[in-house]
Amino acid sequence: MKTEAVVLRAHGGPEVLVREAIDIPEPGPREARVRVRAVALNHLDLWVRRGMPNLVLEYPHRLGADVVGEVDSLGAGARGVKVGDRVVVSPGITCGVCERCLSGQDNLCRRYAILGEHTHGGYARHLNVPDTNLLPYPGDLPFAQAAAVPLVFLTAWQMVVDKARVRPGQTVLVQAAGSGVSSAAIQIAKLHGTRVFATAGSDAKAERARQLGADEVINYKTHDFVAEVKRLTGKRGVDAVIEHIGGDVMSRSVLATASGGRIVTCGATAGSQPKIDLLHVFYRQIEILGSTMGSKGSLFGILEHVKAGTLKPVVDRVLPLWEAAEAHRALESREVFGKIVLEVD
């Protein structure tokens, strides 16, 4: 069948995103076709559009990892859903049969792929996905709100809960509060009883971070976040740092971490080769942990929290899918707080 999409046929700036009619095959065995209602942006969309090392795309390529909508059609043997069901699409595609997948560590599957990066994503009216990627919709949440959940909350949950292993009474520093992952991480850390410090690049973003539950917010443009963390913790440092900036922020995060603390990183938007003094790492026994996405099974619990209102998606603005280029420019400007969501008419 034919459907409309926003595609790219070459790497470049936002102008490479164009509206086209494309062919969507019928769903294969144990697949479903989703009528996409909303798809949220991630920095991953920007990186794929610009081009990354060793990334090979099948053109015309469709971006978009965070997809919600309704089941439109079912392939042979598709399980768990029926036509018309509202669904959240898990953004990670796996083989489903390897040891990692069957051990609940599917994001370590050797065939792991993310929608919009390694395979076609949700910048379209329709998308085919495996039936195992369809999760229950969280109550009566608007589509634009639900689309802001999957990737960032899954990523933040693994970072805060599984990797940093936070406990009530601990202190957590969340870098760059305005990002999607960080706005989720603040809420998850508070949900687990921690005292949360966050950094932000403006007073307006600092206030938004406080509204999400951050106990202390440091404007990194006017204050040294390491000095402020040391002041707020009586020179001890924080038990955990959640960061995705890289560069000098990663280097200095080591100095803000308490002895025996953990730094969990999932990105490197400011540089992937920070200079780190290993004396601090081994002498103070600091753990530095990498994190990508999270187990598909974790999304079930996250969506229950969203349905109950104990975790809330943060949406900065909603635009039509056909204005994807403008949405990319807005995300690149770093003037957003939370997620930009594209609605699909």
Residues 27-37: pLDDT tens digits? 999 999 999 99
Q: What DSSP assignment string belongs to 97-112?
A: SSHHHHTT-GGG-TT-
pTM for this predicted structure: 0.95
3-state secondary structure of 300: helix
pLDDT, the chain, mean: 96
What residues contact residue 186 under an 8 Å CB cut-off, 6+ apart? Answer: 174, 177, 196, 198, 209, 212, 213, 214
What was the pLDDT predicted at 94? Answer: 96
In CATH terms, the fold of domain 2-149+313-343 is Quinone Oxidoreductase; Chain A, domain 1 (3.90.180)
Question: Does the pLDDT at position 334 exceed 90?
Answer: no
**Binning pLDDT at 50, 70 and 90, where does residue 165 land?**
very high
What was the pLDDT predicted at 54? Answer: 87
**Binning pLDDT at 50, 70 and 90, where does residue 335 land?**
confident
Of 339, 318, 322, 316, give the one whose Cα is nearest residue 125. 322
Q: Where are the domains of the chain?
A: 2-149+313-343, 153-290
pLDDT digits (tens, 9 = 90+) for 111-143: 999 999 989 999 999 999 999 999 999 999 999
Q: Which CATH superfamily is domain 153-290 in?
A: Medium-chain alcohol dehydrogenases, catalytic domain (3.90.180.10)
Q: Which residue has the tokens 């349905």?
A: 307
